[in-house]
A and B are shown apart, each in its own frame.
Chain A
């Protein structure tokens, strides 16, 4: 079957190819015969993937809880970038392409998680990105906006990492979560670098004191009982490993921006 599919796949866009391949993977896992499915449009293929990979019967509550937690964070990011990208005069022209790319991914993450959860998806909260006035100029002052963007991305990385163990029973969903996790890390690195920071996190410090909770514990240099500072130095040891956050810690951070 691979042989007959190869020429068909030549020349189609990479995204569709990946989605199709994922779908075939998913179908194989679900014990179905993939040969009967023609290559369809990407959204249709995605829908099929979601149905076949994830919706064979109801998801265990623990997994639904993780996915709804992730969906809440993605709602927050998606709405934040939609507002930022729409605010005239906020993002300098040269940086707009970056924030549009990030926003595009967050929108896709929301759609993907909603498709997986179906009727079990939580509703979008009402957000207040000023956090009750603490960031009053978030959509008029680029420095505030980009600092919050960095905080949301670095928090997102830690949030997904913290939940990986809760998805270990479901390989397809774990893999999907990891594939979101690394995209958030790409975003975080870019936003940090645009702000004049390193793309990686050194120690637990931050230039934005209001975001301190996002970086608590990042300075850890002991991994699996091994003192990693002994290999190069303490900074490299801190930077080389991103740390997880518990769901409670993440919700305390995100909760500042959630009204209801």
Chain B
């Protein structure tokens, strides 16, 4: 395998390390979570490194790059919900378990579909660091789920215009609205019967528009959970 990986550019490697060092912090700020310095210092930022050189995943370019970007995010979501259902937080009601199991099954389906659609162009299997999540805690699990779902919606909304092939655009559209349905449900579980399902924090009041994030913003937020380094430098930008 290592000889299939392109030689690592030393400058790029340095920038990646920099970006990884800040990604967890960025994510936590973005998620509105406050944690101690000790928590920030552990996990993948550990100088011993969970990412040996050469363990980089290059998303590639063009539509393949965008689909690999989606595949990386779906791998993250699927891995998260698999763990959520395996560990079940304290006090998970049967109704909540049904919702979270459904979401797990949707994310696994998205993940496996994208892998199949990408075929030999698919990036490899990522591994994840969920050390910042307390899987026994409803608030921690649902708070993380909310972040992932909103992030997924904003990622697909931002990446849709990068897609050239209308068939791929439609497939992305078929997935993003399901992510939005998830986001709505998770948000309502956190604050039932409120406006949060489509709260003013994610849907702009003056325009009624949901968030759309650039790939760099999304990867900075998600990167804190991904052990490997994602190389997104060949992704389209417009």
Contact = CB atoms under 8 A, between A and B. Distances in A.
Partners in one complex: yes
Interface in B183-206: 183-185, 188, 193-195, 197-201, 203-206
Contacts of A149: none
Interface string A153-166: 00001001100110
Contacts of B198: 101-102, 105, 183, 186-187, 190
A120 B167 CA distance: 29
A182 interface: yes
Nearest to A174: B161
Interface stretch (A59-67, A207-215, A238-246): A238-246
Interface stretch (B13-21, B172-180, B225-233): B172-180
From DSSP, what is the main secondary structure of chain A's interface residues?
Answer: helix
B45 to A, nearest CB: 24
B59 interface: no
A165 to B, nearest CB: 4
A95 interface: yes
Contacts of A187: 184, 197-198
Given A108-B206, A181-B173, A186-B181, A165 B193 contact: no
Contacts of A200: 102, 106, 178, 181-182
Size category, A interface: 35 or more
A34 B170 CA distance: 33
A236 B102 contact: yes
A97 interface: yes
A189 interface: yes
A15 B201 CA distance: 8
Contact of B160 (A174, A185, A240): A174
A240 B109 contact: yes
A193 B185 contact: yes
Contacts of A181: 173, 176-177, 180
B139 interface: no
A183 B117 CA distance: 27
Contact of B208 (A16, A112, A199, A223): A112
B106 A240 contact: yes
Contacts of B106: 200, 236, 239-240
Given A104-B205, A107-B208, A178-B157, 17 more contacts: A95-B193, A101-B195, A101-B197, A104-B208, A165-B170, A181-B177, A183-B198, A198-B102, A199-B184, A200-B106, A224-B117, A226-B113, A228-B113, A236-B108, A240-B106, A241-B109, A242-B177
25 contacts: A18-B204, A42-B205, A102-B198, A164-B169, A168-B164, A179-B211, A179-B212, A181-B180, A182-B156, A182-B210, A183-B209, A186-B203, A186-B210, A187-B198, A190-B185, A200-B178, A223-B171, A224-B113, A226-B113, A228-B109, A231-B108, A231-B113, A232-B105, A242-B177, A242-B178
